[in-house]
Amino acid sequence: MQKYYLAVDIGASSGRHMLASLQDGKMLLEEVYRFENGMQHVDGKLLWDTKHLFREIVNGMKKCKELGKIPASMSIDTWAVDYVLLDERDEVLGDTYGYRDSRTDGMDEKVYEIIPEAELYKKTGIQKQMFNTIYQLMAVKEKETGLLNRAKTFLMLPDYFQYLLTGNKVSEYTNATSTQLMNPETKQWDKELIRKLGYPEEIFLPVQLPGTEVGSLKKEIRDAVGFDCKVVLCASHDTASAVMAMPVVNGDGLYISSGTWSLMGVENDTALCDEKSRSANFTNEGGYEYRFRYLKNIMGLWMIQSVRHELKDAYSFAELCVMAEECRNFPARVDVNDDCFLAPENMTEAIRDYCKKHGKQVPQTTGEIAAVIYQSLAECYGRTVKELEQNTKKSYAGIHIIGGGSNAAYLNQLTAAATGKTVYAGPGEATAIGNIMAQMIKDGVFQNLSEARACVFASFDVKTYEAENR
């Protein structure tokens, strides 16, 4: 019988259930279920609807039963930094905030009153992002003190969903590192830092690696979906799973995990927590088998996704790329990492306002707006490559673009031109593939990550874009 593995890959705008199997030495992927996601505007707050998400996780599992393709194991990955606090009855305390909510405004200064920014970076190696969990928890401490006092367990979102499936609480390593509360040397929670910040240290569970078995499905879940399977930890931070699927056996290359965010970096054996890395805003997030993803968070395709929604999704991304190329000589550029683009009420107007404010030609047409976004992203990639090579004291011949953004051919070509590197685009489903890889390694299908990566290289198309072509 064919053996199946299920990846539940939940992103900021949608989720999907991907079944994988191995045939003739190649990995086959099949999307069996897809559902919508998004932060909800509730009373001036940006929240996640975790009940909706868990219902959809179960609905997608039911689909596996309908198809007669029962997974041997499954795992869940999501975006980073967001979490739930559970009380003594294991009920969620308060709201489940989305990372774009503004409650963290000013919380960086509260944290730095306790530990200076440079010292914090030296301790954790994590770049400053206003949505990091360390600042979210400071917002809870400052504004909702009672919640922290009543909290018994802290779980990142994938860990919470897997708890709902199994009844077992486990804290996964790669996502935990995004909190800015982990020690890159001990690779566990920095209890000294947590105590200093005034967060209850007992709510943080010991950190477990991808490949750890969480447990089997609870009876009520088995009854609902019609089968039982193992739940296994993947690299539950979606970028960590995506980087696992980079089709380079030795992992030695630049990558851009391209989607709503663009995560651009390299894999290192040790964290680079020096001042040069901090001032350039690089991070050292945890990867599979204690690798470090030394990378920079770049705004990514969020900007063009937002513009598309403002146009009532009247154009496909391919059509927007054509319009951008027709306006390729439009001169304005923006800093894609400026906070004004994080969660504006209207992205198109935010781009125009930025251009006005900085004395640049203001884009008027949709094509000009798209050109500003794509050209600005590519130029940001170009600057980031130079910083990466300087900081790691290595040069790289190519860039691997993985994830959904690998299908953006126009941006890939701009990236090759802006960086002077050969761009290798694919696989597009990198996150789900990485999720599956961790499960297959756990099950003995692959001996190690290198063997799994060789299978990815053999299984999925990778397109090449040369720097000299424009």
Question: What Rg do the C-alpha atoms of the chain give, in angstroms?
Answer: 21
User: How far is 382 from 275, CA to CA, in rounded Å?
Assistant: 22
- Beta strands 71-77 and 230-232 are parallel
User: How far is 274 from 118, CA to CA, in rounded Å?
Assistant: 9
72 phi, psi to nearest 5 deg:
-70, -35
User: How far is 153 from 346, CA to CA, in rounded Å?
Assistant: 37
Under 8 Å between Cβ of 265 and 281 = no
Residues classed as catalytic? 238
Under 8 Å between Cβ of 124 and 180 = yes
Query: Is the sign of the CA dihedral 349, 354, 359, 360 positive or negative?
Result: negative
Under 8 Å between Cβ of 295 and 285 = yes
